[in-house]
Each structure stands twice: as structure tokens, then as C-alpha cells.
Amino acid sequence: MLVPAMPNDSHSWANFISQIQSANNTAELDSIEHAVFGRKNGAMTLAMQALKNLKDEKRKSQAKELNTQKVTISTALEERRSELVRPSEDVLVTQDALDVTLNLPHTKSGHLHLVHEFIAQVEEVFGRMGFDVHYGPEIETEDLNFTQLNIPEDHPARDTQDTFWIKEKGKEKHVLRTHTSPVQIRYMRSHTPPFSAIFPGKVYRKDADATHSPMFHQFEGLMIGKDISVANLKAVLITGLRELIGRDVEFRFRTGFFPFTEPSLEMDMMWQGDLEDSREGKWLEMGGCGMVHPNVLRNCNIDPEQWQGFAFGFGIERPLMIKHQIPDLRAFFQGDLRFLEQF
Ligand code: PHE
């Protein structure tokens, strides 16, 4: 390429510009740039160095001229470079077109987490038996989580060992709800009997081992009407749980104690499967249930002389452990894809 070694008039600078504009690739541009601005022998570099030999007036006007040329040439270089780098429209149309008829490789799609899938099934199965669905807050008042449920001041569940307390100065005491039972109170206060409803959600306790986690899920059930009895409670629970977990699951009811039900029962399920597990063939506690205590009804302005009913509260992870033979409850929350993708 023909490049004047040391242009001394604007004509020569114009020569660079035309070379820049007709450059065919960026390598050509690089060599022109070097010829003009190269640190040793670049035309502009030399012209700048030569300024010092000129007299005052001449030097000023020549410096001004050189600066103008410098800007013009740099701009021309930049423009041509971006033209050369930018693909033409023709190229874009042929090479960058999206073929919408193309068969894309099968991409994996996500799915509901086992726990949320189960909650959806609970809502569906109990929904078919006429149960409404209602959700309450996870941060609950001490009053609704304990007091309104007839849980006495000195009940161990209120201990800091068992419960996550949220204390703010001058404000009502709050807890991360330890069960879904406070939603019973919320529901009974905002609805007129007869009614039946399911309350699924997260609950929190200070527990952690293979069958306990500080956060887990429960679903609560409540049915209030005129002649509801323990027989209805058992029928509803067995029907619902068989539907959810499997026809052949074995259940057993034991007498139990909860301050908010009277009488109270506990329901266990047989741990089964072919895991070599010390729990094999043993009963696993699933949840509690019973007839809603008259004090609780009264706390919700429902007359226990007129209305009665049952409530139950079940863990969600435990029946899933039995159904899918999952030995450790913590697997639900570790986010390990090898576990999650199995379901
Ligand atoms: N809330 C109780 C628990 O978490 C379970 C329960 C709910 C018992 C409703 C009776 C009635 O242990």
C-alpha cells in the first residue's frame, strides 16, 4: 500500500482518508493506522515532532491544522472499522435467520416440588368431599397460635426451646406458626357454620433430625356442622388419606391429647417398603385430630350447644416419606436434583 512517509499538506492527509474509506478489511485499516499514528515513524507522530522546529505563529497554525486532521482521520478509521465489522443485511438474512420449522432438541421442563404436588392433591381430594381451601399467615400472633386454641400459658410448646419467637418492643408477640391450627380460628371467625375447609402450609419448630425439620408442611382440616361425630372424622380421614397415599396403607388411631380438641386422637401409619430400615413395620405418627373443644368454638363466637365438629392436622412430608420410601425428611429441602428429578 502506498503511504506517504511524511505528508506536509492537507492533500496528503486526504490521501489517508481515501485509503481508509476504500480499505477492504480491518488488517488494512490496522496498517494505515500504524502509518499515521505509529509511535516511531507514524506520519502524524513525525509531523507533531516537527512542530518544535517552527516559529511561533507558524507553529500555532500548523498545530491547529494537525489536530483537525488527527480528529478527522481517527473518526474515519472508527467509522470504516465499524462498517467492516458489521455484517451486511444480506448476510444477516441468510445466516442469522431463525428457522421456525426446525425441530429443536427436547428441552427438560420443570415440575412441581413433591410437597406442592401433594398439597394440590390434598386440595383436590378434600375438595371433592366438599372442603373449602384457606391459607393463613406464617408469622402468627401468640394469641392465635396458642391462646385462642385453648393452649395454656405453661404449655411446653410455648417454650423458647420449641418455638421461633419474634419479639418487637412494645408490639404484640409473634411466632413462626408452630402448626396450621391458628387458621381454624381465622376461618371460624370469618365464616358461619356449617362449613368444612382445608388449610395447608408451612409450619416451624425447633427440631432437626431424620424425621423432623425446623420448617415443614402441614394440612389442617376442619368440619363444623350439626351432628358431626368421631365416626365422621374417621371416615373422612381414612377416605382422604387412602386416596392420597394408597389403598393398602394401614392406619391406626390412638387416644391422644391436644388442648383444642376433646376427645383427641393421634393417627399413625405403618412404615412399609423394602428399605432395610429399622423403622420397617413400625408405626409412624402422622398427625392429630379430634372434636373441636367447646372453648375454641366459643372463642370464635360459635355456640357449642348448637354446633360441633372435628379438626385434624397432618404433616405432609411424613406420608410422602412412606409413599415414596424416602428415609430422610431433609432430602425434601436440600434441592439435590438427583432426588427432585425422581418425582
Ligand atoms: N396442631 C396439632 C399439631 O400440630 C395437630 C392437630 C390439629 C390436632 C387439629 C388436633 C386437631 O400437632
Q: Do residues 138 and 146 touch, judged by C-beta distance below 8 A?
A: no
Q: Which of 180, 258, 295, 297 to mutate to test the pocket of ligand 1 (most atoms within 8 A of CB)?
A: 258
Backbone angles phi, psi at 160, to 5 degrees: -65, -20
The grid cell for 305 is 350447644
| pLDDT tens-digit map of 46-76 | 988 888 888 888 889 999 999 999 999 999 9
Domain segments of the chain: what residues? 10-91, 114-340
- What is the structure's pLDDT at 304? 97
How far is it, in rounded angstroms, from Cα 24 to Cα 141?
Answer: 76
- Superfamily of domain 114-340, CATH level 4: Bira Bifunctional Protein; Domain 2 (3.30.930.10)
How far is it, in rounded angstroms, from Cα 295 to Cα 259?
Answer: 10
Alpha helices in the chain (DSSP H): 10-22, 26-37, 43-50, 56-85, 89-95, 114-128, 142-145, 182-190, 230-245, 294-299, 317-324, 337-340
DSSP labels, 114-156: HHHHHHHHHHHHHHHTT-EE----SEEEHHHHTGGGT--TT-G
Strands 215-225 and 251-258: unpaired
CA of 219 to the centre of ligand 1 (A): 9
CA of 170 to the centre of ligand 1 (A): 30
Give the number of the atom of ligand 1 that is nearest the alpha carbon of residue 221: 9
Give the number of the atom of ligand 1 that is nearest the alpha carbon of residue 222: 9
| pLDDT tens-digit map of 274-285 | 555 555 677 888
CA of 331 to the centre of ligand 1 (A): 24
Quick one: average pLDDT of 182-198? 98
Give the number of the atom of ligand 1 that is nearest the alpha carbon of residue 178: 4
pTM: 0.68
CA of 318 to the centre of ligand 1 (A): 15
Read off the pLDDT band of 187 (50, 70, 90): very high
User: Cell 394440590, residue?
Assistant: 120
Cα-Cα-Cα-Cα dihedral sign, residues 194, 199, 204, 208: positive
Quick one: average pLDDT of 86-94? 78
Lowest mean pLDDT among 4-8, 98-102, 128-132: 4-8
| pLDDT tens-digit map of 131-142 | 999 999 999 999
